[in-house]
């Protein structure tokens, strides 16, 4: 059969299913649902007019036809994998790919990358922003661990927000995080000014997705509790998809934001944002840096530099 008309996807599904003798297990390996595997096998069977599996109660059995082609099939994919690995050897050595959440990228990473590039002019940085939740939602069959594994496999450095990821890779905690209330200094003056914590109820509250959805209580709920303020509607106010957007709104004086001050260093230094009260709640979540074990020196260099830069 000619290369141009090989049903590659179906063959791959068949190879994996034959190896596991289970569509379910094959689906897990392929990061899809059993339905998809069933489709592919069915397509292959009807395209060829050959039955490949005997459907037993649990699990499957290979037919003679299936057995007859299994070895070349495995060799085939084995060879393709080999070819890919051979190519990987030639990866451009100068590029360092980093994957990080959007707000981290925008507010912590991008402002300081020039420092690293100054130290390592031979490196080309390739920064990708990725969010875990939409990614997971779109690929229902993937469990979280395998998604992270995939990210670590395709990026040199991965930055995550959350708990310590249970992966067998190099993991470093970048910095402990806390949240506090921040706002434009303009809101501290004039009519309706913010003078004591209880005054927050007179001003708009700004939220971002992570502050609302991560963990049990929203960032605002946590802060209100720490401030000893009761509110029946702790999540009222404007909502933004990214912390960076909520922060920008706060800078424009549109309201009060509860976020981690680490994301607002420049604004706090300039005074365009201020922390009016000394009420701060430590977060269990943190930023973690992941990298493959045995990664090349430039990756270690970057990880070391980033840890240092953010620790300051």
Partner DNA sequence: CCCTATTACGGTTCACGTAACTATC
Partner DNA sequence: GATAGTTACGTGAACCGTAATAGGG
88 contributes a contact to a copy of itself by CB under 8 A = yes
Instruction: Please identify, using beta-carbon distances, which residue of 50 and 171 lies nearer to a copy of itself.
Output: 50
Apex CA 98: angle with CA 93 and CA 100, to 5°?
Answer: 175
CB-count exposure of residue 127 (10 Å: 0-12, 13-18, 19+): middle
64 contributes a contact to a copy of itself by CB under 8 A = yes
- Smallest gap, in angstroms, from Cβ of residue 51 to DNA? 10
The encoded tokens of residue 213 equal 């959805």
**64-88 and 8-20 helices cross at what angle (nearest 10)?**
110
Subset of 24-43 contacting DNA (CB under 7 A): 24, 27, 30-36, 38-43
Instruction: Please identify, using beta-carbon distances, which residue of 8 and 198 lies nearer to DNA.
Output: 8
| From DNA, a copy of itself, none, interface partner of 76 (C-beta below 5 to 8 A by class) | a copy of itself
- Smallest gap, in angstroms, from Cβ of residue 41 to DNA? 6
78 contributes a contact to a copy of itself by CB under 8 A = yes
Q: Given the rule CB under 7 A, which of 9-17, 204-212, 257-265, 283-291 is the region that contacts DNA?
A: 9-17
Subset of 95-124 contacting DNA (CB under 7 A): none
Per-residue binding string, DNA, 119-148, x by CB under 7 A, is: -------------------xxxx-------
Q: Which of 55, 56, 57, 86 binds a copy of itself (CB under 8 A)?
A: 86
- Smallest gap, in angstroms, from Cβ of residue 233 to DNA? 30
List interacting residues with DNA (CB under 7 A).
Answer: 7, 9-10, 13, 22-24, 27, 30-36, 38-43, 53, 55-60, 138-141
């Amino acid at each position: 059969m000619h290369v141009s008309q090989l049903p590659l996807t179906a063959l791959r599904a068949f190879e994996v299913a034959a190896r596991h003798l289970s569509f379910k297990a094959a689906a897990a390996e392929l990061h899809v649902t059993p339905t998809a595997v069933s489709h592919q096998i069915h397509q292959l069977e009807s395209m060829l007019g050959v039955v490949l599996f005997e459907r037993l109660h649990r699990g499957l059995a290979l037919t003679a036809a299936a057995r007859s082609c299994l070895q070349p099939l495995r060799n085939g994919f084995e060879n393709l994998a080999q070819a890919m690995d051979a190519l990987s050897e030639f990866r451009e050595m100068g590029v360092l790919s980093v994957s990080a959440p959007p707000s981290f990228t925008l507010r912590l990473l991008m402002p300081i990358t020039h420092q690293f590039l100054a130290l390592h002019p031979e490196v080309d940085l390739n920064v990708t922003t990725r969010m875990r939740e939409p990614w997971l939602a779109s690929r229902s069959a993937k469990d979280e661990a395998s998604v992270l594994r995939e990210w670590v496999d395709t990026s040199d450095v991965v930055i995550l927000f959350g708990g310590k990821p249970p992966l067998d890779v190099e993991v470093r905690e970048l910095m402990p995080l806390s949240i506090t209330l921040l706002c434009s200094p303009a809101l501290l003056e004039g009519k309706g000014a913010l003078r004591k914590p209880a005054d927050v109820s007179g001003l708009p509250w700004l939220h971002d997705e992570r502050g609302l959805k991560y963990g049990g209580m929203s960032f605002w709920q946590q802060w209100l509790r720490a401030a000893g303020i009761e509110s029946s509607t702790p999540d009222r106010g404007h909502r933004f998809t990214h912390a960076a957007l909520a922060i920008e709104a706060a800078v424009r004086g549109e309201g009060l934001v509860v976020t981690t001050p680490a994301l607002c260093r420049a604004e706090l230094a300039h005074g365009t944002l201020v922390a009016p009260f000394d009420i701060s709640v430590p977060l269990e979540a943190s930023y973690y840096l992941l990298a493959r074990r045995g990664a090349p020196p430039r990756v270690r260099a970057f990880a070391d530099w980033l840890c240092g830069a953010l620790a300051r």
